[in-house]
């Protein structure tokens, strides 16, 4: 079954398109539908100037005003990933939980290749995963 892709960034809580060594990944998380009215999606509240308050501690339905905490909403979201595995070259799609874990020393969304079963991490922007067996340069003697 093919994953549904977003038509615009307004549909997403999170979106990234990355290259991972010799592979690549495009990942997105759709906004949660309002559990009360089921007509609209949950989003961060807006400030007076119409800008979104990214640091708010809750999400709100723009239609009915229903509120849910960040934790409740983010625990129910799923990360959709379309990828090309950097290890075996397999192209596939998968869905995983929307929760960062420490992977190779960097906070990452972790998913597994469906063919070779190796774990692949989507790190935060500008974070580099630490390579195993790699010794960093220290002070020279």
DSSP states of 10-28 as a string?
Answer: GGEEEEEEEEETTEEEEEE
pLDDT over threshold 70, residue 133: no
How many domains are there within the chain? 2
Largest CA distance in the chain: 68
Per-residue pLDDT at 138: 47
pLDDT over threshold 60, residue 50: yes
Same domain, 42 and 61: yes
pLDDT over threshold 80, residue 125: no
Same domain, 24 and 57: no
Confidence class for position 86, pLDDT limits 50, 70, 90 = very high
| Residues 6+ positions from 1 with CB-CB distance below 8 Å | none
The residue range of the domain holding 20 is 1-31+77-127
pTM: 0.80
pLDDT over threshold 70, residue 89: yes
The Cα–Cα gap between 126 and 44 comes to 25
The stretch 91-102 carries a mean pLDDT of 93
Q: For strand 78-84 and strand 67-69, is the pairing parallel, antiparallel, or unpaired?
A: unpaired
């Amino acid at each position: 079954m093919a994953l549904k892709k977003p038509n615009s960034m307004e549909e997403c809580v999170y979106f990234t398109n990355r290259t991972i060594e010799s592979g690549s990944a495009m990942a997105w998380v759709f906004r949660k539908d309002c559990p009360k009215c089921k007509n609209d999606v949950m989003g961060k509240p807006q400030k007076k100037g119409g800008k979104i308050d990214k640091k708010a501690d809750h999400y709100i339905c723009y239609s009915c005003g229903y509120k849910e905490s960040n934790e409740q909403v983010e625990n129910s979201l799923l990360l959709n990933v379309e990828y090309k595995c950097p290890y075996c070259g397999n192209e596939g799609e998968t869905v995983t939980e929307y929760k960062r874990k420490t992977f190779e020393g960097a906070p990452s969304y972790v998913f597994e290749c469906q063919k070779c079963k190796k774990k692949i991490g989507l790190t935060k922007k500008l974070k580099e995963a630490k390579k195993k067996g790699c010794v960093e340069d220290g002070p020279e003697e």
